[in-house]
Structure 1
Amino acid sequence: MVGEPHPLWRGDRVGSDWSRPAPDGWEQRDWRNVPGPFYTANTDNCLTGRQCAPDHVMYEDEYCSEFVYRQPRTAAEVHALTCAADCEPFRAYGGDGDAHWTPELVRDWWRDRVRVREWAVTLDRKWSVSEREYEREAASGARDYVAHIDHGLADYLRGYAFWLAEGRPAGPGETLPELGA
Protein backbone atom coordinates (compact mmCIF):
# COMPACT_ATOMS: atom_id res chain seq x y z
CA MET A 1 0.00 0.00 0.00
CA VAL A 2 3.03 2.29 0.27
CA GLY A 3 2.72 4.90 -2.46
CA GLU A 4 -1.05 4.53 -2.87
CA PRO A 5 -3.14 7.73 -2.69
CA HIS A 6 -4.09 8.77 0.82
CA PRO A 7 -7.85 9.52 1.14
CA LEU A 8 -7.52 12.36 3.67
CA TRP A 9 -4.40 14.09 2.44
CA ARG A 10 -4.91 15.41 -1.08
CA GLY A 11 -1.87 14.74 -3.21
CA ASP A 12 -0.15 12.69 -0.50
CA ARG A 13 0.49 8.98 -0.58
CA VAL A 14 0.56 6.27 2.09
CA GLY A 15 4.11 6.62 3.34
CA SER A 16 4.81 3.77 5.73
CA ASP A 17 5.09 0.01 5.66
CA TRP A 18 2.56 -1.08 8.27
CA SER A 19 3.67 -4.72 8.38
CA ARG A 20 6.12 -3.85 11.15
CA PRO A 21 5.52 -3.95 14.94
CA ALA A 22 3.88 -1.06 16.76
CA PRO A 23 6.59 1.15 18.34
CA ASP A 24 5.42 0.38 21.88
CA GLY A 25 5.31 -3.29 21.01
CA TRP A 26 2.86 -6.13 20.94
CA GLU A 27 2.78 -6.33 24.74
CA GLN A 28 1.28 -2.83 24.94
CA ARG A 29 -1.56 -3.49 22.47
CA ASP A 30 -5.05 -2.38 23.43
CA TRP A 31 -7.06 -5.31 24.81
CA ARG A 32 -10.00 -4.43 22.57
CA ASN A 33 -8.05 -5.08 19.34
CA VAL A 34 -9.65 -7.98 17.49
CA PRO A 35 -7.13 -10.77 16.75
CA GLY A 36 -5.47 -10.43 13.39
CA PRO A 37 -2.46 -8.90 11.70
CA PHE A 38 -3.27 -5.28 12.62
CA TYR A 39 -3.38 -3.82 16.13
CA THR A 40 -2.66 -0.61 18.02
CA ALA A 41 -0.60 0.14 21.09
CA ASN A 42 -0.77 3.52 22.86
CA THR A 43 -2.11 5.67 20.04
CA ASP A 44 -2.81 9.40 20.18
CA ASN A 45 -6.21 10.92 20.77
CA CYS A 46 -6.57 13.00 17.61
CA LEU A 47 -9.66 11.08 16.43
CA THR A 48 -8.41 10.51 12.90
CA GLY A 49 -8.73 6.72 12.59
CA ARG A 50 -12.46 6.59 11.95
CA GLN A 51 -12.13 9.28 9.29
CA CYS A 52 -10.10 6.81 7.21
CA ALA A 53 -11.42 3.44 8.35
CA PRO A 54 -14.76 3.70 10.18
CA ASP A 55 -15.47 0.01 9.51
CA HIS A 56 -12.25 -1.01 11.28
CA VAL A 57 -11.19 1.59 13.85
CA MET A 58 -12.84 2.48 17.14
CA TYR A 59 -11.92 4.81 20.00
CA GLU A 60 -11.63 3.81 23.62
CA ASP A 61 -13.54 5.90 26.13
CA GLU A 62 -10.88 7.24 28.48
CA TYR A 63 -8.42 8.97 26.13
CA CYS A 64 -10.02 8.30 22.71
CA SER A 65 -7.06 6.14 21.72
CA GLU A 66 -7.63 4.05 18.62
CA PHE A 67 -7.88 0.29 18.25
CA VAL A 68 -8.79 -2.18 15.49
CA TYR A 69 -12.26 -3.64 16.04
CA ARG A 70 -12.55 -5.37 12.66
CA GLN A 71 -9.64 -6.77 10.66
CA PRO A 72 -9.55 -5.89 6.95
CA ARG A 73 -10.44 -8.63 4.46
CA THR A 74 -9.93 -6.92 1.10
CA ALA A 75 -7.17 -4.82 -0.42
CA ALA A 76 -9.40 -1.74 -0.20
CA GLU A 77 -9.99 -2.36 3.52
CA VAL A 78 -6.24 -2.83 4.12
CA HIS A 79 -5.70 0.47 2.31
CA ALA A 80 -8.25 2.24 4.52
CA LEU A 81 -6.65 0.85 7.68
CA THR A 82 -3.12 1.75 6.58
CA CYS A 83 -4.37 5.26 5.88
CA ALA A 84 -5.70 5.40 9.46
CA ALA A 85 -2.28 4.24 10.64
CA ASP A 86 -0.56 6.91 8.53
CA CYS A 87 -2.72 9.65 10.09
CA GLU A 88 -1.92 8.56 13.64
CA PRO A 89 0.89 10.86 14.88
CA PHE A 90 2.51 8.30 17.22
CA ARG A 91 2.63 5.72 14.40
CA ALA A 92 1.33 3.30 17.04
CA TYR A 93 -0.23 0.80 14.65
CA GLY A 94 1.40 -2.56 14.10
CA GLY A 95 0.91 -5.06 11.32
CA ASP A 96 2.86 -8.02 12.67
CA GLY A 97 0.05 -9.59 14.68
CA ASP A 98 0.40 -12.88 12.78
CA ALA A 99 3.84 -13.29 14.39
CA HIS A 100 2.29 -13.06 17.88
CA TRP A 101 -1.22 -14.49 17.82
CA THR A 102 -1.58 -18.23 18.28
CA PRO A 103 -4.74 -20.32 18.00
CA GLU A 104 -4.82 -20.54 21.81
CA LEU A 105 -4.51 -16.76 22.23
CA VAL A 106 -7.33 -16.31 19.71
CA ARG A 107 -9.48 -18.70 21.76
CA ASP A 108 -8.54 -16.81 24.95
CA TRP A 109 -9.60 -13.51 23.34
CA TRP A 110 -12.89 -15.09 22.21
CA ARG A 111 -13.61 -16.40 25.72
CA ASP A 112 -13.16 -12.83 27.01
CA ARG A 113 -15.42 -11.29 24.33
CA VAL A 114 -18.19 -10.67 26.89
CA ARG A 115 -15.95 -8.06 28.53
CA VAL A 116 -15.32 -6.35 25.18
CA ARG A 117 -19.00 -6.51 24.23
CA GLU A 118 -20.15 -5.06 27.56
CA TRP A 119 -17.61 -2.25 27.20
CA ALA A 120 -18.91 -1.41 23.69
CA VAL A 121 -22.58 -1.50 24.79
CA THR A 122 -21.82 0.82 27.71
CA LEU A 123 -19.87 3.18 25.46
CA ASP A 124 -22.71 3.29 22.93
CA ARG A 125 -25.22 4.22 25.65
CA LYS A 126 -22.95 6.99 26.92
CA TRP A 127 -21.73 8.41 23.61
CA SER A 128 -24.92 8.14 21.54
CA VAL A 129 -26.45 10.94 23.66
CA SER A 130 -23.28 13.02 23.94
CA GLU A 131 -23.15 16.70 23.05
CA ARG A 132 -19.87 16.02 21.23
CA GLU A 133 -20.33 15.14 17.56
CA TYR A 134 -17.27 12.86 17.42
CA GLU A 135 -18.63 10.80 20.34
CA ARG A 136 -22.02 10.43 18.67
CA GLU A 137 -20.28 9.31 15.46
CA ALA A 138 -18.04 6.89 17.38
CA ALA A 139 -21.10 5.44 19.11
CA SER A 140 -22.07 4.00 15.73
CA GLY A 141 -18.69 2.24 15.72
CA ALA A 142 -19.47 0.76 19.12
CA ARG A 143 -22.76 -0.58 17.73
CA ASP A 144 -20.93 -1.99 14.70
CA TYR A 145 -18.41 -3.65 17.03
CA VAL A 146 -21.20 -5.34 19.01
CA ALA A 147 -22.88 -6.47 15.78
CA HIS A 148 -19.53 -7.85 14.56
CA ILE A 149 -19.05 -9.78 17.82
CA ASP A 150 -22.58 -11.15 17.58
CA HIS A 151 -22.55 -11.94 13.83
CA GLY A 152 -19.49 -12.89 11.84
CA LEU A 153 -16.55 -12.49 14.19
CA ALA A 154 -16.58 -16.14 15.32
CA ASP A 155 -16.34 -17.35 11.71
CA TYR A 156 -13.50 -14.92 11.01
CA LEU A 157 -11.62 -16.01 14.15
CA ARG A 158 -12.05 -19.70 13.31
CA GLY A 159 -10.56 -19.02 9.87
CA TYR A 160 -7.79 -16.93 11.42
CA ALA A 161 -6.95 -19.69 13.93
CA PHE A 162 -6.72 -22.12 10.97
CA TRP A 163 -4.42 -19.67 9.17
CA LEU A 164 -2.19 -19.40 12.24
CA ALA A 165 -2.01 -23.17 12.71
CA GLU A 166 -1.58 -24.15 9.05
CA GLY A 167 0.02 -21.08 7.46
CA ARG A 168 -2.65 -20.96 4.76
CA PRO A 169 -6.37 -20.28 4.37
CA ALA A 170 -8.74 -23.20 4.80
CA GLY A 171 -9.83 -24.89 1.63
CA PRO A 172 -13.40 -25.89 0.76
CA GLY A 173 -14.66 -28.56 3.11
CA GLU A 174 -11.80 -28.27 5.59
CA THR A 175 -12.81 -28.21 9.24
CA LEU A 176 -12.08 -24.98 11.07
CA PRO A 177 -10.95 -25.05 14.70
CA GLU A 178 -13.51 -24.50 17.43
CA LEU A 179 -13.22 -21.39 19.61
CA GLY A 180 -14.89 -22.74 22.72
CA ALA A 181 -17.62 -21.12 24.78
Structure 2
Amino acid sequence: TAQTAAAMHINNNNISSSNKTSHSRNHSEEQESTPHRRYRRSGIAGNELSRMERIHIRHHRRTRQTLYEKIEKYLDKLEIPHSHHCILRALCETGQKSNERAPGTFVGELMRAVFTIPEALDEDIMENRIHYRDKRYDAANAFQGSCAEEYALCRQSLWKSQFVQ
Protein backbone atom coordinates (compact mmCIF):
# COMPACT_ATOMS: atom_id res chain seq x y z
CA THR A 1 0.00 0.00 0.00
CA ALA A 2 0.93 3.64 -0.32
CA GLN A 3 1.32 4.08 3.46
CA THR A 4 3.68 1.08 3.69
CA ALA A 5 5.77 2.38 0.78
CA ALA A 6 5.97 5.83 2.37
CA ALA A 7 7.01 4.32 5.71
CA MET A 8 9.73 2.27 3.98
CA HIS A 9 10.98 5.38 2.15
CA ILE A 10 11.19 7.39 5.39
CA ASN A 11 12.94 4.48 7.13
CA ASN A 12 15.49 4.16 4.29
CA ASN A 13 16.19 7.90 4.39
CA ASN A 14 16.79 7.72 8.14
CA ILE A 15 19.20 4.78 7.70
CA SER A 16 20.93 6.55 4.82
CA SER A 17 21.41 9.79 6.77
CA SER A 18 22.69 7.94 9.85
CA ASN A 19 25.16 6.07 7.59
CA LYS A 20 26.30 9.40 6.11
CA THR A 21 26.78 10.86 9.60
CA SER A 22 28.68 7.81 10.77
CA HIS A 23 30.76 7.80 7.54
CA SER A 24 31.69 11.47 7.90
CA ARG A 25 32.52 10.93 11.59
CA ASN A 26 34.72 7.92 10.69
CA HIS A 27 36.33 9.89 7.85
CA SER A 28 37.21 12.85 10.11
CA GLU A 29 38.54 10.48 12.80
CA GLU A 30 40.59 8.74 10.12
CA GLN A 31 41.98 12.10 8.95
CA GLU A 32 42.97 13.04 12.49
CA SER A 33 44.77 9.74 13.08
CA THR A 34 46.54 9.78 9.69
CA PRO A 35 49.91 11.56 9.83
CA HIS A 36 50.24 14.65 7.68
CA ARG A 37 51.84 13.82 4.33
CA ARG A 38 55.01 15.67 3.39
CA TYR A 39 55.10 17.36 0.00
CA ARG A 40 58.16 18.02 -2.12
CA ARG A 41 58.59 20.09 -5.25
CA SER A 42 56.66 17.60 -7.35
CA GLY A 43 54.21 16.00 -4.93
CA ILE A 44 53.95 13.51 -2.13
CA ALA A 45 57.25 12.27 -0.71
CA GLY A 46 58.79 8.81 -0.64
CA ASN A 47 57.42 5.83 1.23
CA GLU A 48 53.80 6.98 1.37
CA LEU A 49 53.31 6.52 -2.37
CA SER A 50 51.11 3.70 -3.56
CA ARG A 51 52.29 1.26 -6.21
CA MET A 52 50.14 3.06 -8.81
CA GLU A 53 51.58 6.45 -7.86
CA ARG A 54 55.12 5.09 -8.27
CA ILE A 55 54.21 3.63 -11.67
CA HIS A 56 52.68 6.97 -12.68
CA ILE A 57 55.78 8.95 -11.63
CA ARG A 58 58.13 6.60 -13.50
CA HIS A 59 55.94 6.79 -16.61
CA HIS A 60 55.75 10.59 -16.34
CA ARG A 61 59.55 10.85 -16.08
CA ARG A 62 60.09 8.50 -19.08
CA THR A 63 57.66 10.42 -21.26
CA ARG A 64 59.27 13.74 -20.26
CA GLN A 65 62.68 12.46 -21.32
CA THR A 66 61.21 11.51 -24.71
CA LEU A 67 59.49 14.89 -25.00
CA TYR A 68 62.68 16.81 -24.14
CA GLU A 69 64.60 14.85 -26.76
CA LYS A 70 61.96 15.77 -29.37
CA ILE A 71 62.06 19.44 -28.37
CA GLU A 72 65.85 19.30 -28.61
CA LYS A 73 65.62 17.91 -32.17
CA TYR A 74 63.11 20.63 -33.07
CA LEU A 75 65.48 23.31 -31.75
CA ASP A 76 68.30 21.71 -33.77
CA LYS A 77 66.16 22.03 -36.92
CA LEU A 78 65.67 25.70 -36.12
CA GLU A 79 69.47 25.88 -35.99
CA ILE A 80 69.50 26.95 -32.36
CA PRO A 81 72.99 26.04 -31.12
CA HIS A 82 73.43 23.88 -28.01
CA SER A 83 69.78 22.88 -27.89
CA HIS A 84 70.43 20.42 -25.05
CA HIS A 85 71.68 23.29 -22.90
CA CYS A 86 68.54 25.26 -23.79
CA ILE A 87 66.39 22.37 -22.51
CA LEU A 88 68.44 22.29 -19.29
CA ARG A 89 68.15 26.07 -18.94
CA ALA A 90 64.37 25.89 -19.42
CA LEU A 91 64.19 23.17 -16.73
CA CYS A 92 66.34 25.32 -14.43
CA GLU A 93 64.23 28.45 -14.93
CA THR A 94 61.00 26.51 -14.53
CA GLY A 95 62.24 24.97 -11.29
CA GLN A 96 62.88 28.47 -9.98
CA LYS A 97 59.40 29.59 -11.05
CA SER A 98 57.74 26.72 -9.16
CA ASN A 99 56.90 28.95 -6.18
CA GLU A 100 55.20 31.63 -8.28
CA ARG A 101 51.48 31.69 -7.63
CA ALA A 102 50.33 34.25 -10.19
CA PRO A 103 49.44 32.67 -13.52
CA GLY A 104 51.46 33.67 -16.55
CA THR A 105 50.40 33.80 -20.16
CA PHE A 106 48.64 30.77 -21.62
CA VAL A 107 51.78 29.65 -23.46
CA GLY A 108 53.83 30.39 -20.34
CA GLU A 109 51.61 28.05 -18.32
CA LEU A 110 52.05 25.37 -21.00
CA MET A 111 55.81 25.87 -20.73
CA ARG A 112 55.60 25.50 -16.97
CA ALA A 113 53.66 22.23 -17.38
CA VAL A 114 56.11 20.85 -19.95
CA PHE A 115 59.27 21.78 -18.05
CA THR A 116 58.15 20.67 -14.60
CA ILE A 117 59.50 17.18 -14.02
CA PRO A 118 58.53 14.97 -11.07
CA GLU A 119 61.34 14.21 -8.66
CA ALA A 120 62.89 10.77 -8.88
CA LEU A 121 61.61 8.18 -6.45
CA ASP A 122 63.88 7.58 -3.45
CA GLU A 123 64.10 3.85 -4.25
CA ASP A 124 65.21 4.61 -7.82
CA ILE A 125 67.94 6.91 -6.53
CA MET A 126 69.13 4.34 -3.97
CA GLU A 127 69.22 1.56 -6.56
CA ASN A 128 70.87 3.80 -9.18
CA ARG A 129 68.04 3.25 -11.68
CA ILE A 130 68.08 6.75 -13.11
CA HIS A 131 69.23 7.41 -16.67
CA TYR A 132 72.13 9.86 -16.95
CA ARG A 133 69.98 12.36 -18.87
CA ASP A 134 67.34 12.23 -16.14
CA LYS A 135 70.05 13.06 -13.61
CA ARG A 136 70.97 16.12 -15.67
CA TYR A 137 67.30 17.13 -15.96
CA ASP A 138 66.83 16.72 -12.19
CA ALA A 139 69.96 18.73 -11.42
CA ALA A 140 68.86 21.52 -13.77
CA ASN A 141 65.33 21.61 -12.35
CA ALA A 142 66.65 21.83 -8.77
CA PHE A 143 69.48 24.32 -9.48
CA GLN A 144 69.24 27.48 -7.34
CA GLY A 145 71.92 29.69 -8.90
CA SER A 146 71.91 31.72 -12.10
CA CYS A 147 70.47 29.55 -14.87
CA ALA A 148 71.89 31.91 -17.52
CA GLU A 149 75.42 31.45 -16.13
CA GLU A 150 75.10 27.70 -15.52
CA TYR A 151 73.79 27.06 -19.04
CA ALA A 152 75.64 29.88 -20.81
CA LEU A 153 75.94 27.86 -24.03
CA CYS A 154 72.22 28.52 -24.51
CA ARG A 155 72.17 32.12 -25.69
CA GLN A 156 68.48 32.84 -25.14
CA SER A 157 66.06 31.50 -22.58
CA LEU A 158 63.10 29.63 -24.01
CA TRP A 159 61.07 31.58 -21.44
CA LYS A 160 62.08 34.82 -23.16
CA SER A 161 61.10 33.61 -26.63
CA GLN A 162 58.57 35.73 -28.50
CA PHE A 163 55.93 33.01 -28.53
CA VAL A 164 55.97 32.64 -24.72
CA GLN A 165 55.57 36.29 -23.80
Give yes or no for TM over 0.5.
no
> TM-score, with normalisation over the residues of structure 1?
0.26
> TM-score, with normalisation over the residues of structure 2?
0.28
Largest Rg, 1 or 2: 2
Higher RCO structure (Cα 8 Å, ≥6 apart):
2
Q: Give the number of the structure whose residues are more often helix, by fraction.
A: 2
